[in-house]
Amino acid sequence: MYGCDYFKIHYSVYYYYICSHKKIELKKEVLDKGFIEVLDKLGTDLTVVNSARVSFGKRKEKFDDNDRKLVKFLAKNKHWSPFRHLMVQFHVKAPEFVMRQWYKHVVGIETSSSSSAKDHAWNEISGRYVPVSDFYVPSNWRRQSQDNKQASEGSIDDQKIASDIFETAMSDILGSYEKLLEAGVAKEQARMILPLNQYTEVYWTASFQAIMNFIELRDEATAQWEIREYAIAMKELMHEIFPEITGIWFEVNSH
């Protein structure tokens, strides 16, 4: 299972054979047109324990029960630096309003070694260069929460009227956007009328700890449903590429 042995992953409709020292190809469809794809990674389950043991001049070649105990100790006692040696690069396609929430995990970068909001790289597709063509269409129109001003719950009774209003608005907006482009207006200006359900794409590279911080904050009951779907998909991916470390992390930090 470890080292450079091949193992099969059943992941949605995708089947891949991956090697711990070779490029990983994993992809998860999210929402109606979005996805998360793992483009690359640095490290294996052994990376965390070897990074911790370097203080004693030791290095392991096979993950065992002693390593599991060490990882639990590190996570429980908040010794975060060994976890930052694991890095993952994701390609994410998500609605703009999801990305704006996601980006909050990047703008908090600072230099303190104790922060979980560090170790990021973020590059995004530009509407100045590429015309916007994909838009998120909800499959369920939720009610405003009665006890949380920023949250939603359940479903409204008349789904059709909400869908009709949405479709009419989108048709008018997209028609106007196309007319502006046809009139010669620059894409960087024409895009100003586009709504937050437009899909955008980013490359996000982050450390294991930073990724866990994102999942813990966004895969919980008060998170918006759409971004929670991405957090759940990312959690599944992390269990695939770093099974031991991810499993222990959530075992220690489960509430």
Q: What residues act catalytically?
A: 218
| 127 phi and psi angles, rounded to 5 deg | -70, -5
How many C-beta neighbours within 10 Å does residue 50 have? 19
Q: Rounded CA gap, 130 and 119, in Å?
A: 28
Q: Rounded CA gap, 118 and 153, in Å?
A: 32
Alpha-helix runs per DSSP H in 79-158: 96-107
Q: Rounded CA gap, 141 and 105, in Å?
A: 27
Q: Which two tokens stand for residue 138?
A: 């909800």
| 206 phi and psi angles, rounded to 5 deg | -150, 160
Any residues with CB less than 8 A from the CB of 124 and at least 6 apart, and which? 99, 200, 201, 202, 203
